[in-house]
Structure 1
Amino acid sequence: MNITNQFFTPVMVQSRTIASHAGRLMPGIMLCLGVTAVAVVGAWAQRAAFGTVWLEELVLAILLGIVVRALYAPTAAMLVGIRFCAKQMLDVAVMVLGLSISTHMLFGKGVALPLGIALFVVMAIATSYAIGRLFGLPSRMATLIACGNAICGNSAIAAIAPVIHAEGEDVAASISFTAVLGVALVLLLPLSVTLLHMQALQYGALAGLTVYAVPQVLAATAPAGASAVQFGTLIKLTRVFMLGPVVIFLACLVQTTAKNRTDVISASRTSADLPAKTFLLHQCVPWFILGFLGLALMRSMHLVPLIAIQPALQVSSALTVVSMAGLGLSTDLQSLAGCGLRVSITVLLSLLLLLLAGLGLIWILGV
C-alpha cells in the first residue's frame, strides 16, 4: 500500500499542477481564439466578395486585437493566456516553418543565385536598419522592420521578435505598416512589366526579391505567366531560407551583448577568477530555431513524408494567427501613434531601395 502511494501521489500532484496551469491559461487563450475566429471570417468575406484577400488573417488578427485592447483592457487573469499565445504558440509556429525549406530547391540552379540572394538580403537588412536608426526608431523596431523588409515580411518579424526580446508594440507597428505596403506592392508591381519592358523571368525575379510573403509573390507574378510564378517562388523561398542564419546571428549577438554587460558588472567586483563558461548552442540560439533548422534538414534528406508537410504548415499558419491575436491584445494603441510616421517612412524608403537593389541584382546576374 505504501509503495502504491509513493508511486501515485507524485503523479496526482503533477496532474493537479498541470490542470491548474491550464486553467489559468484558458481565459486568455479563449479571447485570442475569439479574435482569430473573427479574423478568419473577415478573410473569408474578402475572398467571397472580391475573389481575393487584401488583408490576410494574420494582419486582421493583430489589428482586431489592437482594437479590442483599446476598447476593453484584458484582466490580469486573461493576460497570462494572452502572453502564452503571443510567445509559446509563436515559437512552435516558427519551428514548423522549417518544413517549407529544402536545400535541394535552393542549390538546384547553381551557387551563383543563392549567393547573390544571400548578399542581397544582408545588404537590405543593413540598409533598412540604418534608415530606421536615422529616423530615430529604437534598435529593436529598426531590426524588425529591416528583417521583415529583406526576408519575408510578417513571418520574419514574428520569428525574430522573441529572439531580440522585442516589445508587443514594436511587433504590432512593424507588421501593420509592412502589411499595408505589401498589399500595395502586389497591386502596383505588375506595372513594371510594361514600364520597364521586362521579360517573364526578369519580372519573376524582381517579384521574388521584393514582395514580402510567398502567397503575395504568387499573386504578383500570376499576370506574367507560369514561368514568372515558378522563378519568383524559387527566389522568394531562397530569401526565406535566410531566416535561419539571420536569426542565429541575431541570437548570438543578443547573447554576446548580454554577456558583455554582465562582464562589465562582474569586473567592478573584487572576487577570485571565475571559471570560463563553455559555449552552449542552445544558450545562444532559441530552441525553436534549432527545431526550424532540424526540420529543414529533415525535409532536405527526405525524412519527412510529403503528405505530412502541408498539414503541418497549415497548423503553423493557424498558430501564427492566434499568436498575432495575442500580440494585438498585448498592444497599447497609444504607443503606436508616437512612432507611426517614422515607421511608415522607414518601411517606404526601405521598400524603394529594395526595388532598386533587386533591379541591380537582376542586371548583374543577367537574368
Structure 2
Amino acid sequence: MPGLVVAASAALVAWLVHLAVPAVPILTAAVALGIVVGQVPALRPALAGGLAPGLRVAARRLLRLGIVLLGLKLSLVDIATLGWVSILTTVAVVVVTFVGTIGLGRALGLPGHQPVLVASGFAICGASAIGAMAATVRARDEEQAVPVALVTLCGTLAIAVLPALWHPLGLSTTGFGHWVGAGVHDVGQVVATAQLAGSAALAVAVVVKLTRVLMLAPMVAITAAVERRRAIEPTGPRPAIVPLFVAGFLAAVLLNTFVPLPEPVLAGADLVQTALLATALFALGASIRFAELARTGWRALVVGLTSWALVAALAYGAVLIG
C-alpha cells in the first residue's frame, strides 16, 4: 500500500500541474515527477525498500488496466473516416519506424530488450506502449527506464519543435494535425501539440494517433510470437501470443465501436484510465537513474533521437501522400 499511495498522490500532483499549465500533459508530468523523485539520494532507500512492492504493482498491473481502458477511446468508425490512403500510410509509418529502430538499436549494441522497447515507444504510443511490450517480452523494470526517459524527453520537445516547423514546411491546418498525430508519441503530447493549430487540427491528430494506438495489439502479438519461437526452453513458460490485457484492449475497442455507450460512462472511463496510467508512469519514472544513463545510455540516446527524426520524416511524407 505505501508505494501505491505515493504513486497515486504523485498522479494527483501531475493533474494539478496540468491544470496550472495546460500545455503540459498529465502523463508527461507524471513521468517527469517520477524521474525527479528517482534522482534524490535521500529517497532512494525508500524507493528500493518499503515503497518498492507498491511501485511494482503500479508499474505493471495498473499500467495494464489503463491500457485496457485506453481502448474505449478508439472507434473503428472514426478511424475509417480517415480513408484507406491515410490508414495505410499511418500503418506504414508505425511498421517502418518499429523495424528500423530495432535494427539500429541492435546495430549499436543496446542490451536486452531495449531495442524493441525503444521501438515500441517511438513507433506506437509512448510510455504506455513500452509498458505493454515490456510485459509481453518479460523485460525487467530496469530495461524500461531508458526507453521511458527517451520517449518522454523527445515527446516533450515535440510540443515546442513541431509547431515551429508548421508554417516553414507549408502544412495546412489539417495537414499539421495529421503530421502531429502520426509523428508524436504519447496521446497527451499529441493533444498538447495539435491544439495550438485549432480544433480541426486537433480532431485529425487524435484520430490519426488513435489509429497508431490500435497498432499496439498486432505489434505486441507479432513480437510475442517471435519471442515464443526464440524461447530456449520449449517446455517452459513462454509469452502468450495475445496477452490478456491486449485482448481486453481489443474488446474495449470493439465495445466502443458497436455499442452506443453513454457519454458519462466514456468520460468516467477516460478519467480512470488517465489516473491509472499516470500512477503507473510515475512508478516507471522513479526507476530511472540519470547517473547510470550517463554511463551507459549514450547509444540509447542516439537510437531515440534517430527514431524521433525517422517517425517525424515518415509522418511528413504520409501527409504529403494523403
Q: Same fold (TM over 0.5)?
A: yes
Which residue of the other structure, out of 313, 316, 319, is the alignment partner of 1:359?
A: 316
TM superposition shift of 1:179: 0.9
Q: Deviations over 1:233-284 (max 9, x none)?
A: 22111111111111111222222322xx224x89xxxxxxxxxxxxx9x942
Q: Is the 8 A contact 1:35 1:61 kept in 2?
A: no
SS of residue paired to 1:246 = helix
TM superposition shift of 1:347: 0.9
The amino acid across from 1:222 in the alignment is Q
* In 2, Cα distance between equivalents of 1:262 and 1:189: 46
TM superposition shift of 1:86: 2.2
Match of 1:295 in 2: 252
Q: Is the 8 A contact 1:54 1:183 kept in 2?
A: no
Match of 1:21 in 2: none
Match of 2:184 in 1: 211
Q: How do residues 5-16 of structure 1 correspond to structure 2 at under 5 angstroms? A: none
| 1:63 and 2:20 matched | no
Match of 1:313 in 2: 270
* In 2, Cα distance between equivalents of 1:81 and 1:224: 40
Q: How do residues 189-338 of structure 1 correspond to structure 2 at under 5 angstroms? A: 189-258=162-231, 261-263=232-234, 283-302=240-259, 304-330=261-287, 335-338=292-295
* In 1, Cα distance between equivalents of 2:320 and 2:30: 35
Q: Is the 8 A contact 2:32 2:285 kept in 1?
A: no
Q: How do residues 19-168 of structure 1 correspond to structure 2 at under 5 angstroms? A: 26=1, 30-38=2-10, 40-41=12-13, 44-45=16-17, 47-48=19-20, 50=21, 52-53=23-24, 56-67=28-39, 71-74=43-46, 78-168=51-141
Match of 1:10 in 2: none
Scaled by the length of structure 2, the TM-score of the pair is: 0.88
SS of residue paired to 1:151 = helix
Unaligned runs of 5+ in 2: none
Scaled by the length of structure 1, the TM-score of the pair is: 0.78
* In 1, Cα distance between equivalents of 2:114 and 2:144: 7
Unaligned runs of 5+ in 1: 1-25, 267-279
TM superposition shift of 1:137: 0.8
38-47 vs 187-196, which moves further: 38-47
Q: Is the 8 A contact 2:38 2:288 kept in 1?
A: yes
Aligned residues: 319
RMSD of aligned alpha carbons:
2.7
117-126 vs 34-43, which moves further: 34-43
Q: Is the 8 A contact 1:68 1:329 kept in 2?
A: no
Q: Is the 8 A contact 2:24 2:192 kept in 1?
A: no
SS of residue paired to 1:195 = coil
TM superposition shift of 1:351: 0.9
Q: Deviations over 1:209-232 (max 9, x none)?
A: 111122322222233233222222
TM superposition shift of 1:79: 3.3
The amino acid across from 1:142 in the alignment is P
TM superposition shift of 1:148: 0.9
SS of residue paired to 2:71 = helix
TM superposition shift of 1:333: 5.6
SS of residue paired to 1:190 = helix
The amino acid across from 1:67 in the alignment is Q
* In 2, Cα distance between equivalents of 1:248 and 1:216: 26
